[in-house]
Chain A
Amino acid sequence: MDDKKQIKRREFINTGVRIGIGVGLGAIGVVLSTRTLSGKSVWQIDPAKCVQCGKCATSCVLEQSAVKCVHVIEMCGYCDLCGGYLRPETKELNTAAESQLCPTAAIARKFVEEPFFEYHIIEELCIGCGKCVKGCGAFGNGSLQLQVQHKLCVNCNQCAIARVCPSEAFSRVPATAPYLLKGFENKK
């Protein structure tokens, strides 16, 4: 008799607490759902804030960083003396070592016509160190820009590069406009 009473009391408390937790969980869900993003969001670099410190190449959780250089070819000046391709202070090409600015030789150039060259990034080689981006931004049009490549990015809850970025250039952007390139229309 006494035992039954106790069990009843315990059940009563359990039910009460259960309803309490349920209501609490529901409240959290409802309150926060008013503050959700309309859709998916992804990490991206704002090239206007990026200072090309080189941490993108080393801080990504992936061994091969998801950050790569993107060449916005619409902005390119096709320069002969490209600040992103050649080492700084290069005035003429005579030692065959001027083109070693990129540590992995990930920029290739192709002769178009005198005196213009077309540049493109070999993505498999690019490590996202931003050396070319710095050179192009300082002396050229700024058509080379670092961006998170969404084919590679695993979209961590907290981006490991964003944590160490000195200029707070990383932010979450809507997945419908996943790139923040300057001088180039975002396409889906």
Chain B
Amino acid sequence: MNKNARVAILIIFTSLLVFNIFGIQRFPKPEFESGYSQPETQVPSPRGAIFEYLDLAVFIGCLSLISWLVIKKRSRKGVFWLSIFSLLYFGFYRKGCICPVGSLQNISMALFNPEYSLPITAIAFFVLPLGFTLFFGRTFCAGVCPLGAIQDIFAFRPVSLKSWVQSLLGLIPFIYLGLAVLFAATGTDFIVCRYDPFVGFFRHNASFMMFAIGGILLLISVFIARPYCRFLCPYGVLLNLVSRFSKKHLSIAPSKCISCRLCEDACPFGAIDKPTGAKNKEQSNVLVKRLILYCLITPLLMGVCGWTASKYHESFAKVNFKVRLANEIMLSAKTETAQPALEVTTFRASGKAVEKLYAEAARIVDRFYIGSWFLGGFIGLVFGLTLARFTLVQYRTEYTTNKGTCFSCARCVDYCPVKE
């Protein structure tokens, strides 16, 4: 009896759903006698695709202009005003989407998911700043990135951080980058976009949480200039690495540095390398030994970190919608009394095969397993190389910009008394 009733309910339920899916016209359109004329359904059209290419043109224009301002003109004023323009255009007018920082996720998703087709602007926004950085240093950070610009104008009272603090916090972007690539490559989520702290200001609209995080970061940037750029931005990692090999780069002095020390505290980002003392033979022997040790430790670190991360691959995988759904369906199949989640009932009503979902979820979990090994290995490599880097001492006789961390903001240029 009970079973029959259940079957009857099921039939009624599914028939209702079938009606719903095929949208059967239950009530035909009436034939009006009062001369009523039917209005038309109105739907607003999206912003035209042509504007997308306009954005791209503005982007390329800004990149060219900022590189010229930094390398040739050496004008802090010019950099500042261009960064204001970028903040207004890419930030407040275009509402911060799409930006190169987020585009790295589109790229990694496209690289690992052949079925994902990405917009051409995403490729351009990813490749162009890196290309410009390869030739001119991180000029993109100086005046085109709206996220950088909004922090830069708040840098009123920058304090200089101890170099070990900088190095330690500087590891966070690598981990963030690794996680962002892991989640994007598995087609799970775009965490960089999700936790973009300033996009809420650009849209005048965000959850309280994101406003709070953005506000706190802006407050911090009064004292620690550009905290997001230096200690969070995952795209900055790529720019940092590429910029080290750049063909040209902003130099503090236009010609020979006279070591007057005027620029010593000019950089709010701690990106000016001071001259070092003369070479010390004994010390360098110790350092070479240490370097060899760290180089031997690095693979070990990679292994340990990879193994540790792979232990958490199931927790990472739970962020994925399909994996979570499969888990919940498995759970609700075991405990029948519990009220199943909305996702579960929706899935059951859709009539898709559970086995297929399970198989797909298992495949995603497998990808997370491999991915988390790579993530851990990458983090281990970064740790190892960071340690090894401390043993490498570059001998300098001049004040120079650190090509990796310098944002090419050209503040130091104004401090330099050498003008020719």
The interface of chain A, by Cβ under 8 A from chain B, is: 14, 17-18, 21-22, 25, 28-29, 32-33, 35-37, 39-42, 48-49, 51, 53, 61-63, 70-79, 112-113, 116, 118, 120, 137-142, 147, 149-151, 153-158, 160, 163, 166-168, 175-176, 178-179, 181-184, 187-188
Contacts and interface: CB of A to CB of B under 8 A. Distances in A.
Nearest to A6: B395
Interface string B317-338: 0000100000000000000000
A181 B41 CA distance: 10
B110 to A, nearest CB: 5
Nearest to A74: B41
Interface stretch (B26-34, B70-78, B149-157): B26-34
A41 B24 CA distance: 30
B84 interface: no
A3 B23 CA distance: 80
B217 interface: no
A177 B400 CA distance: 54
Nearest to B106: A157
A142 B34 CA distance: 25
A179 B45 CA distance: 9
A32 B44 contact: no
B247 interface: yes
* 7 shortest interchain CB distances as A-B pairs: A77-B27, A150-B46, A158-B190, A151-B44, A40-B49, A166-B343, A113-B34
Given A29-B127, A61-B205, A183-B23, A156 B29 contact: no
A42 B98 CA distance: 13
Given A42-B46, A74-B38, A163-B321, A22 B95 contact: no
Interface string B376-404: 00000000000000000000000000000
7 contacts: A18-B245, A35-B114, A73-B41, A78-B27, A155-B97, A157-B103, A160-B194
Contact of A78 (B29, B105, B127, B321): B29
Interface of B: 16, 20-21, 23-30, 32-34, 36, 38-41, 43-49, 52, 95, 97-98, 102-103, 105-107, 110-111, 114, 116-120, 123, 126-127, 130-131, 134, 189-190, 193-194, 199, 203, 205-207, 242, 245-247, 321, 342-343, 346-347, 349-350
Contacts of A41: 119
Contacts of B346: 51, 53, 166-167
Contacts of B106: 157
Contacts, number: 175
Given A14-B245, A61-B205, A113-B33, A154 B52 contact: no
A183 B23 CA distance: 8
Given A17-B245, A62-B203, A140 B26 contact: yes
Contacts of B116: 35
A168 B346 CA distance: 10
A18 B45 contact: no
Contact of B194 (A63, A78, A158): A158
B45 A178 contact: yes
Given A74-B38, A154-B203, 12 more contacts: A22-B131, A32-B111, A61-B205, A77-B29, A120-B39, A137-B20, A141-B27, A142-B23, A150-B46, A158-B105, A181-B41, A182-B23
Contacts of B114: 35
